[in-house]
Structure 1
Amino acid sequence: MSDYKLLIGGRLVDGAKTMEVINPATEEVLATCPRASEAQLDEAVAAAKKAFPAWAAKPIEERRALILKLADAIEAQAEDFARLLTQEQGKPLAEATAEIAYTQAFIRQLATHDLPVKVLEDNDRRRVEQRRRPLGVVGAIIPWNFPVLIVAFKLPLALLAGNTMVVKPAPTTPLTTLKLGELMAEIFPAGVVNVVTDQNDLGGRLSTHPDVAKISFTGSTETGRKVMASAASSIKRLTLELGGNDAAIVLGDVDPAKVAPGIFGGAFLNAGQVCLAIKRVYAHADIYDALCAELGRLAEEAIVDDGLKQGVQIGPLQNAAQYEKVKGFLADARANGTIVAGGVVEDRPGYFIRPTIVRDISDGAKLVDEEQFGPILPVIRYEDAEDALARANASDMGLGGSVWSTDRETARDLAGRMESGTVWINKHLDFGPNMPFGGAKQSGLGVEFAEEGLHEFTQIHVINEAK
C-alpha cells in the first residue's frame, strides 16, 4: 500500500502495482507510490474523453476560476510541496521553494488568456470568423527536473482551452505530481484531470492511444523522437520541448569578475539539470584565463550537500542513471581538457558530483558537442566572435543561448544570428509565462507559454457565412 494515489475519473485510487521512490541525496527509499497498469491508463483516457464535452461547454470564465483555485490550493501547502520536492528531486530547498512559487505564478498568469472570436471579414458579401476549439484529451508527459513547474507550463493552457488531460510524471519524481492530483481531485469535475504513474512503460501507449488528441512532452530529444513517431499513427497534435546545448558567447570586453556569477548560476542551477542551462561557454582569449579562474573559484566555494540542509547551493544528481551518465562526461573532461575545479565524485551516499569547470577543451569533445545535463561546464577559447558564433550554431540543438558584452550593439547583432529559440544578452535563464518559449532545430516542436502556447491546445475553426 501507499500513502499516494493515482487520480482517475475523479477518484483517488491505488495502482495495479507499487514502486519505490529514492531520495537522491541519501539513496534511501523515500516512499512507495502507486504504479499504473496499461488498463488503468486506458481508464484514465476514457475518463478524460467522457469529461471532455461538458468541460469544453463550460464558459471560459468558469474554467479559469477553477484553474485559479488550483494556484490557491498549492499556495496553501507551499512549504509541504517544497520539502517533498527537495526530497524526491534533490534540488536545494531554496530552489524547490522557488519552483513552487513559480508554479503558482505561471498558473495565475496563463489563466488570464482568452480565446476571442476573430472576425476576418464582414462585408456585404460574407462574414468570416476564426474561432478556436479545444482538441479533446491531452496527454502531458512530465520530466524529472522540474516535476511541479512543468505541469504548470502545460495544464493551465490545456484546461483553459477546454481540453481534458492525462498527466504522467517521471517515475523517479512522481510524488509531487501525485500530491497535485490530490488537490485537483477536489477542484475539477471528475475526469477533467487524471494523473497516472509508470516505470517508463506507458509513454508509448499514451502517445499512440487513439482517444488522445495531443501530446505535450518535455524531455530528451532522443525520447522526443520516439514520441513523435508514436503520435504519427493518428496524426496527433504535438508540442515537444526537448534537449538543449546552450552556448554562452563571452566577448573580450567584459569584466570576468562581474559576469562569472551570472554564467555560473546559468550553468549550475538544479545541478545543471535544466534544459535551458548554459552547457558550453565560448570565452574570448583576452579574458579566457581570468574567466576560467573566476568560475573555478565559484565552483570551489559552492556548498554541495543534501538540499534540506541550510545554505546548500547544489544538490545531488536526480537519479542513478543520470549520475552514471554524468560520470561518463567527467571521464571525457579528464581526457580532453583540464579540470580547473571540481571533477570529484564524492565518496558518500547520494548522487553527488561537485560543480566542475573544464578548460583547454574544444569542439569535437563529447562534453562540448553533447548535452551533459549535469554540473560540468566546458569553457572553450576563441579569437574571433564570428568563429564563436559559427561554433555555437553548429549544434543540431537550438533551445537557448546568450551573449555577454559591454557593447550592446555587437551583442544584439550576435544574438540576432544565434540559431536558438531564446537568446539572452548579459544574462541567462530569464523567462516567464508571458514570453513564448520554443526550441529551434532538434530542440523542440511548437511553443509553450503566452497566447502562442494557448493556441497550441486548439484547432482553428473558420465559419464562413454568405450574406
Structure 2
Amino acid sequence: MASHVLDFSTYYNIIDNKLTSTAITRHGINPANAQPNPEVPISTQADLDQAVEAAQKAFKIWSKTSFEERRAALHAYADAIEANAEKLAQILTMEQGKPLTQSSAEVGMAPGWIRGLSALEIPRNVIEETEEKTIIQRYTPIGVAAAIVPWNFPVLLAIGKIVSAVYTGNTVIVKPSPFTPYCGLKLVELATHSFPPGVVQCLSGDDTLGPMITEHPGIDKISFTGSILTGKRVMASCAKTLKRVTLELGGNDPAIICEDVDIDAVIPKVGILSYLCSAQICMMIKRLYVHEKIYDEFMEKLVAFVKTLKVGDGTGADIFFGPVQNKMQYEKAKELFGSITTENLKAALGGTIEDSTGYFIHPTIIDNPPEDSRVVHEEPFAPILPVLKWSDEEDVIDRANALETGLGSSVWCSDLDRASRIADQLQSGVVWVNSHFQVAPNAPFGGHKQSGMGVEWGLSGLLAYCNSQTQWLNKSP
C-alpha cells in the first residue's frame, strides 16, 4: 500500500499514466481565507490531443477486457482511495470550503460508489429464440468518454463518472472544475496504479478547456454536471459531432410538509437537508412548502434549529456552514440578497451578507414570500431558504411543479398512502418521502425538464456509457 500514498504538495496532469505539467499554470483559491492554493496546469489543445490519442489507443485493449478484470482494477482503486482518504478530505476542504465532516463524508462515499457500481450486471437480452434464429440485444462500450466535473462535489461526481465509463469498457478523460482541480488530479494520479496507461486521464485547465473537449472529434461521450446554461452550450457543441451526452443540471427542489408530521422529529432533518454544503448542492431543499396549520410553530422551531449551526472555516470544530465556494458565487448571492429589500420580503433569520475575509454567508430564512419572488424562482446556490404556506393539496402540487427545473422533490407526511399520492404527481427525476437527498450507487439519479438529460448511476446510468447493439443470428445461410 505504501507506494500509493500520494504527495499532496504538487499537482500534475495525468496523460497516459505520466505526470506532466504545462508551460503556464494557474491556482485555485481557498474560499475560507481567499488565499491561493497550489499551482495547477493550464492544458492546451496539444495536451488534449495527446490525451485523446492515448485514450483511443487504450480503448482498443481495455474494451476487450472482461467485467471481472475491470472489477478487480476498480476494487484496487477503491482500496487506494481509502488509504488516502484523510488527506483527500483535507484537500477537499481546502479547495471547496465545505466543513471537514462533510468532506470526509464525501470522500468516504467514493469507495462505496466504486464497489457498488461495479457490482451491477450489464444484461444481454435474448429478444427472440426460435429454431431458425436468435435475436439478442447487447451493450458495447462507446469509446473515449469525457467527465466534466463541477466544483460542489468534486470527489463523488468524478468517481461516479470514472467508474461508469471504465466498468463498461470505455476510457475516460476527467476535467475537474477550475475552481476545484486538486482532488480530481489526485484521484486520477491514484488511478495510474490500478489501470493501464490511457484508461483514466485527467486534464486541469481554465475556461477554454471545456469547449475544446466538447468540440474534439476524438471524444465520443460527454458526461457533464453543472449549470443549465452551460449544459445547453455543451449540448449544442456535442451536436456537431453527434457525441453521446448526459447532462446533470441545476435544480430548485421543493419539499412539501404535511400538517400531520412530528414537527420536532422533522425539523433537524429539514434544516440540514436545506443547507448542507452551504446549500451549494443541486438537490438540496430550495423551496419549503409548510401546511398553514403548522406553519407558525414549524417556522419558529426551524429558525431556532438553524441558529444552532455554526458558521466558520471548514477546518474548525463543529462547523456546519463553510464559505460559499468562489467569488463569483458570493457576488451572485449578494445580488440575490438585495432582492430581499427591493421586493420587501421578510427575513425570519439572517438576510444580510457581512464582509469577511473568506466568502462566508450566514443562513437566511425568508418568511412566506410571494411565489413569483426571485428567492423562490431562482436556484440560489447559497444558504437562503424561502418557506411558503400551503393549504390545498392540488394547489401545492401545481406550485411545486411550476418551474422549468425538475431534479428532486420530497413529501413529508405520516400517512404513506397520501404521501405516495402526492409523490406520484411530482415532476422530478427523484422523489423522496420523509427524506431528501438520499443517494446510492445502484439507484439512478437525473432530472426532468431543464434539470438534465439521462441519468447517472444505477444500471440506467451505466447503459448511458454503452451503445445498444441488436444481433440477428440466423442458424443457416
Which residue of the partner structure matches residue 397 of structure 1? 405
Residue 310 of structure 2 aligns with an amino acid whose one-letter code is I
CA contact (8 A) 1:299 1:357 kept: no
Shift of 1:346: 3.5
Shift of 1:405: 1.4
Which residue of the partner structure matches residue 122 of structure 1? 129
Query: SS where residue 57 of structure 1 aligns?
Result: coil
Query: SS where residue 310 of structure 2 aligns?
Result: coil
Residue 463 of structure 1 aligns with an amino acid whose one-letter code is Q
Q: Structure 2 vs 1, CA of residues 94 and 461 (structure 1 numbering), >3 Å: closer, same or farther?
A: same
Shift of 1:63: 1.3
Shift of 1:454: 0.9
Structure 1: runs of 5+ lacking an equivalent: none
Residue 376 of structure 1 aligns with an amino acid whose one-letter code is I
Shift of 1:343: 2.3
1:4 equivalenced with 2:47 (yes/no):
no
Q: TM-score, normalised by structure 1?
A: 0.98
Shift of 1:195: 0.3
1:113 equivalenced with 2:120 (yes/no):
yes
Cα distance in 2 for residues equivalent to 1:16 and 1:429 = 42
Residue 194 of structure 1 aligns with an amino acid whose one-letter code is Q
CA contact (8 A) 2:120 2:442 kept: no
Structure 2: runs of 5+ lacking an equivalent: 1-8
Residue 400 of structure 2 aligns with an amino acid whose one-letter code is A
What is the aligned-residue identity percentage?
Answer: 44
Cα distance in 2 for residues equivalent to 1:13 and 1:128 = 48
After superposition, residues 381-392 of structure 1 pair within 5 angstroms as 381-392=389-400
Residue 426 of structure 2 aligns with an amino acid whose one-letter code is M
For each residue in 1:358-384, what CA deviation from the matched residue of structure 2 results, as whole angstroms up to 9, or x when unmatched? 113021111101111111100111221
Which residue of the partner structure matches residue 355 of structure 2? 347
Cα distance in 1 for residues equivalent to 2:299 and 2:275 = 15
Shift of 1:152: 1.6
Which residue of the partner structure matches residue 65 of structure 1? 72
Query: SS where residue 130 of structure 1 aligns?
Result: strand
Cα distance in 2 for residues equivalent to 1:244 and 1:348 = 28
For each residue in 1:275-294, what CA deviation from the matched residue of structure 2 results, as whole angstroms up to 9, or x when unmatched? 10001111111111222212
Which residue of the partner structure matches residue 77 of structure 1? 84
Match of 2:295 among 239, 264, 288: 288
CA contact (8 A) 1:16 1:37 kept: no
Query: SS where residue 283 of structure 2 aligns?
Result: coil
Query: SS where residue 247 of structure 2 aligns?
Result: strand
Aligned-residue RMSD, C-alpha: 1.2
Cα distance in 2 for residues equivalent to 1:239 and 1:418 = 22
After superposition, residues 26-41 of structure 1 pair within 5 angstroms as 26-41=33-48
Cα distance in 1 for residues equivalent to 2:393 and 2:122 = 44
For each residue in 1:118-169, what CA deviation from the matched residue of structure 2 results, as whole angstroms up to 9, or x when unmatched? 2222211211121111000001000000101001211111101110011000
For each residue in 1:264-307, what CA deviation from the matched residue of structure 2 results, as whole angstroms up to 9, or x when unmatched? 11110100001100011111111112222122112222100000
Which residue of the partner structure matches residue 449 of structure 1? 457
Cα distance in 2 for residues equivalent to 1:247 and 1:24 = 28
Match of 2:216 among 200, 209, 213: 209
Residue 439 of structure 1 aligns with an amino acid whose one-letter code is G
Which residue of the partner structure matches residue 372 of structure 2? 364
Query: SS where residue 74 of structure 1 aligns?
Result: helix
Structure 1 stretches of at least 4 aligned residues deviating more than 3 Å after TM superposition: none
Q: TM-score, normalised by structure 2?
A: 0.96
Shift of 1:256: 2.8
Which residue of the partner structure matches residue 245 of structure 1? 252
Cα distance in 2 for residues equivalent to 1:116 and 1:380 = 45
